[in-house]
Amino acid sequence: MTAAPQVDPWQLERIKRRLDALQHWLGEDRRVRILGTPPLEDIEGQFRLAGLRCLLGALGARPGQGATIWLGHGEVPVAPNLLLWPAPGLPASATALPLPDPMHALWGLLEHHPPGNGTLHLPAQPDWRPLLPLLQRLPPWLPVPARVRRALLARAQRLVRAHAEVAAPRPAGSILAAMLGRGFLPTPATEAYWQQW
């Protein structure tokens, strides 16, 4: 069996640099609010949120009333300056800024290790509870401290790095695999995303 192809690191760097367009959209005020954040069990969505926060921090953005970024969960808000960042594959809106997944902002910040063995099969739905026992032990009504979120993301990274390749049904899973130096088995959704960017 041949290994899944890996994404060229220079392609990852080029995609990350496309996120620079966000600073022009934010304007001079650089105030932004994030809505539609993913639930805790959506680990790929949590990486997307971490990448967005990293990107906004690098751009000097502050929380406040200004631009609104919607990450694709719940109802689309009504806001004058709205950036839709829904799951890749959903139709674009007139107010959508053509940008790659904000998870790409984490490129170069995640630790790489030699590949492990076998294929990690990510769930068909964005719910990592079967893969991360810690998620199963957290009551859904309990507010989750930032340190627990960081621990979950660290465990998810260790899980991906323990494998040689990833079977990712969604583009976000393939992005995570690529950023950790793992190949991923292509699906129509992941191929469309990587061809777009």
- One domain, residues 91 and 130: no
Asked which of 69, 86, 105 is the last residue of a domain, the reply is 105
In this structure, the answer to whether residues 96 and 116 fall within a common structural domain is no
Q: Last residue of some domain: 57, 74, 105? A: 105
Whether 40 and 87 map to the same domain: the answer is: yes
Residue-wise pLDDT for 161-195, tens only, equals 999 999 999 999 999 999 999 999 989 989 988 99
Q: How many domains does the chain have?
A: 2
Domain, as residue range, for 81: 9-105
Mean pLDDT of the chain: 87
Do 13 and 98 lie in a common domain? Answer: yes
Burial profile 102-126: b = 16 or more Cβ within 10 angstroms, e = fewer: bbbbbbeebeeeebeeebbebbeeb
Quote the pTM value: 0.89
Residue 15: how many CB atoms within 10 A of its CB?
A: 21
Residues 98 and 125 both lie in one domain: no
Give the helix ranges, DSSP H, for 73-145: 133-137
Are residues 35 and 93 both part of a single domain?
Answer: yes
Residue 122 confidence (pLDDT) above 70:
yes
Residue 82 shares a structural domain with residue 117: no
Q: In angstroms, rounded to a whole number, what is the distance separating the alpha carbons of residues 86 and 129? A: 22
What burial class does residue 162 get, using C-beta atoms within 10 Å of its C-beta: 0-12 exposed, 13-18 middle, 19+ buried? middle
**Domain boundary at 82, 105, 128, which?**
105
Per residue in 26-53, pLDDT tens? 888 889 999 989 999 999 999 999 999 9
